[in-house]
Copies of this chain bind each other. A is one copy, B any other.
Amino acid sequence: MSHQIDPTLLPFFDPKGIAVIGASTAPAKLGFGVARNLAQSGYTGAIHFVNPRGGRLLGRPVYPDIAAVPDPVDLAMVIVPAPMVPDTLAGIGRRGIRAAVIASGGFRETGPEGAALEAECLRVAREHAIRLIGPNCVGLIDTHLPLDTTFLPPPGPTPGDIAFISHSGAICAAVIDWARGQGFGLSHLISLGNQIDVRETDTLAAVAADPHTRVITLYLEGISDGRRFVRAAREVTRDKPIIALKVGRYSGGRRAVASHTGALAGQESAYNAAFHRAGVIRANTSEELFDWARALAWCPLPAGPDVAVLTNAGGPGVTAADALEGHGLRLAELLPETQTALRAILPPDASVRNPVDMLAAATAGQYAQSLGILLDDPGVHSVMVVLPPPPMESAGGVARALIPIIFAAGKPVVVALMGERMIQEAVEYFRAARVPEYRFPERAASALAVLTERARKVSDAAGELPLRLPDTRPDEARRALDDWRAAGGAPGEFLPFEVVGDMLAAYDIPVPRALPAATAAEAVDLAWQVGFPVALKVASPDIVHKTEVGGVLLNLTGPDEVAAGFATVTANARAAAPAARLDGVHVQRMVTSGQEVIIGAVQDPQFGAVVMFGSGGVEVEGLRDVEFALAPLTRGDATGLLERTWAGRRLAGFRNLPPADRAAVLDMIRRLGQLAADFPELAEIELNPVRVLPDGEGAFAVDVRARLAPDWPPGGRGLSE
């Protein structure tokens, strides 16, 4: 698979020559660290040091000025004090270099003055068409090229197959050190710092294109351009897995929202929906990030969720079984012939049912033979070997016997080594052989679950892309909105019911007819027209939660009730909200039966339109039975929303509830998603409740609310896909 790399970024990934500007002879200075690491990294291109003091460093001349540096040179490492960086960049530009990494700190992270300096750097870089990584970053490592432009104290990472791209420099230092200790290598390490130019999204394709990289891990504190990230990551994940640890979950302030969807659609929901769309696996902790990366880098993908557990004691087997089921995997049912084969080589008291317990005296040979037998069972999709300190054998001997079997297997095998010093030799063998090993069955189970998730994502990714639905008429919806604006409607306001109704109609989203009545007599006439029973809802641009002011009467079955009802709801509304403008009522045909769901959409500042689906009614926020997806949605996206919520699963029928019209709901979800994607100025739109009638009878949005963004149009920013 080929990945499209922006050619202006190539000097970062395959530089012909590098100039270290600020290279220093003082060992305590970062400028010495960069020079030392680059010189020791084995980089085979040209290395040039620059410092006004001149002299020699590490056996090389130090040029007083970048202008003096000879060819080839196409990448500059800048490690000079922050105030000198703009001039340094100008010199780099004049020298004809078009890529620079600014390792120096002292910019935006220090306050307004630093931010101004940073802006000046960007201005100079743009003037000279220089691409920038940083400032305030650790730099770049490519262990295979090889190349190390960081100032971190050695040793650097060992060569490996996991790429790490990070918004935090401190995390880079920790990960390099931790990876060495945990016995896995890295292919690339990219520290992005303040990201004034090159961002996480820009680097994905180049890293993915490296054949040494088998998995990409990301440490993210946010994403700069959500939709572009989703597109780029989606391309990469068709080929190679991406795992992201996204932090800053809880730091987001509260936004002013008026709908349930708005209240529940925190930024994390949008990130989850975006990662889902992009095929990115989200890790919850730093340890998961690399536990999972090792499994994805080193194991084939399983064909299904059925796992065999091989161990030499009861307790570890039970622990493993629990952990597997807790992660949504299953204990494989072993075939009778598998059990017979195990029985033939194991002592009579051994358990040959899954988990397979060979008993404490199990030899290395029995471990290896049993593993082979389990891998031959077609109902076994993966194997977890659990190895407490074996009383009779050395754990290292067991590891040596297992490794050839694992190498030959087309199925994933992970190892849970229980203990520490007595299993250390086995740990070293497994690490050298790139067999994922974990200290306890729980973490091994989590790794197998991720392999299974990745296998599913790969097969899903072969599927459909969002397609425009037929019978969506954005022009017609646009007209309804424009007409209202022309009549004085303003950003930030709630849209009148009729306007939303017209917009929904333009997307063929069924809403029971609701007609405005200014007087009781008009209301009665309209009730005859739409058909009893009807609902009366107070009509006011200022009242959003109508039930809370007593502004809604339901199930009115005759003209007298309607006439009396008109007086009631208007009086209630006037009492509860004396300042609200009252335009009379809306008369609406009641859909009184059916399952209640909610379908809503909001605009996320990073990712654009996000659709929510779940249990409807007034308790949406209490039950939190909701899920999110980026709009527009494929049919698979919409089906996923139904599968992941009780409201969605219930549509198939439950107890005395008959199967409801799932197809109508799926259609409505996608149509609302298309509308939200087409109208980014719709800050929130929510159909709640939607009543879903029995199969074939449709689904109807009983109530609707929609609000325009207060700041629309935003400063020239577009959010279209």
- Residues of A whose CB lies within 8 Å of any CB of B are 105-106, 109-111, 152-153, 166-171, 173-174, 177-182, 219, 221, 247-251, 284-287, 312-316, 318-319, 321-323, 325-326, 348-349, 360, 388-389, 391, 418-423, 439-443, 545, 547-548, 615, 618-619, 622-625, 646, 649-650, 654-657
Contact = CB atoms under 8 A, between A and B. Distances in A.
B548 A180 contact: no
B315 A178 contact: no
A548 B656 contact: yes
Contacts of A360: 105, 170
B322 A180 contact: no
Given A314-B109, A315-B170, A618-B654, A420 B249 contact: no
B221 A318 contact: yes
5 contacts: A106-B349, A287-B442, A547-B655, A547-B656, A622-B649
Given A349-B109, A442-B285, A622-B646, A315 B419 contact: no
Copies in the complex: 2
Nearest to A650: B622
Contacts of A174: 316, 388-389, 418-419
B177 A655 contact: no
Nearest to A446: B285
A313 B168 contact: yes
A71 to B, nearest CB: 34
Given A326-B250, A439-B178, A656 B618 contact: yes
Nearest to A167: B315
Nearest to A649: B622
A182 B177 CA distance: 18
B171 A315 contact: yes
B313 A442 contact: no
A182 B418 CA distance: 12
Contacts of A109: 314, 349
A650 B618 CA distance: 11
Given A250-B325, A440-B287, A442-B286, A420 B178 contact: yes
Given A111-B349, A420-B180, A622-B650, A173 B389 contact: yes
Given A109-B314, A649-B622, A420 B177 contact: yes
Contacts of A219: 315
Given A177-B422, A618-B654, A440 B168 contact: no
B322 A250 contact: yes
Contacts of A618: 654-657
A251 B321 contact: yes
Given A167-B315, A171-B313, A181-B421, 8 more contacts: A109-B314, A170-B388, A174-B388, A178-B419, A284-B442, A287-B439, A545-B656, A618-B655
A356 to B, nearest CB: 14
Contacts of A649: 622
A167, A170, A315, A321: most-surrounded residue (chain B CB, <10 A): A170
A106 B349 CA distance: 9
A420 B181 contact: yes
Contacts of A623: 615, 623, 625, 646
Contacts of A171: 313, 315-316, 319, 388, 418
Given A109-B349, A622-B646, A249 B419 contact: no
A313 B105 CA distance: 12
A441 B171 CA distance: 12
Closest CB pairs A-B (n = 9): A181-B420, A168-B315, A170-B313, A177-B419, A174-B418, A250-B325, A285-B442, A110-B349, A286-B440
A180 B177 CA distance: 22
A285 to B, nearest CB: 4
B247 A318 contact: yes
A557 to B, nearest CB: 13
Contacts of A173: 388-389, 391, 419
A178 B650 contact: no
A322 B284 CA distance: 10
Contact of A251 (B182, B318, B440): B318
Nearest to A177: B419
Nearest to A221: B318
Contacts of A419: 173-174, 177-178, 181
Contacts of A177: 389, 418-423
A248 B221 CA distance: 38
A400 B402 CA distance: 43
Nearest to A421: B181
A238 to B, nearest CB: 29
A326 B249 CA distance: 9
A246 to B, nearest CB: 9
A627 to B, nearest CB: 15
Nearest to A349: B110
Nearest to A549: B656
Contacts of A166: 315
Nearest to A285: B442
A657 B547 CA distance: 10
A181 B427 CA distance: 13
A218 to B, nearest CB: 12
Nearest to A552: B656
Contacts of A439: 178, 287
A106 B325 CA distance: 30
A249 B324 CA distance: 11
A250 B332 CA distance: 14
Contacts of A250: 321-322, 325-326
A166 B418 CA distance: 15
Given A250-B321, A545-B655, A168 B314 contact: yes
Contacts of A313: 168-171
A173 B420 CA distance: 10
A106, A182, A439: most-surrounded residue (chain B CB, <10 A): A439
Nearest to A248: B318
Contact of A319 (B178, B247, B316, B657): B247
Contacts of A321: 250-251
B418 A178 contact: yes
A170 B320 CA distance: 13
A314 B656 contact: no
Nearest to A624: B646
A426 to B, nearest CB: 12
A535 to B, nearest CB: 15
Contacts of A655: 545, 547-548, 618
A153 B423 CA distance: 13
Nearest to A316: B170
A650 B152 CA distance: 54
Contacts of A111: 349
A312 B313 CA distance: 45
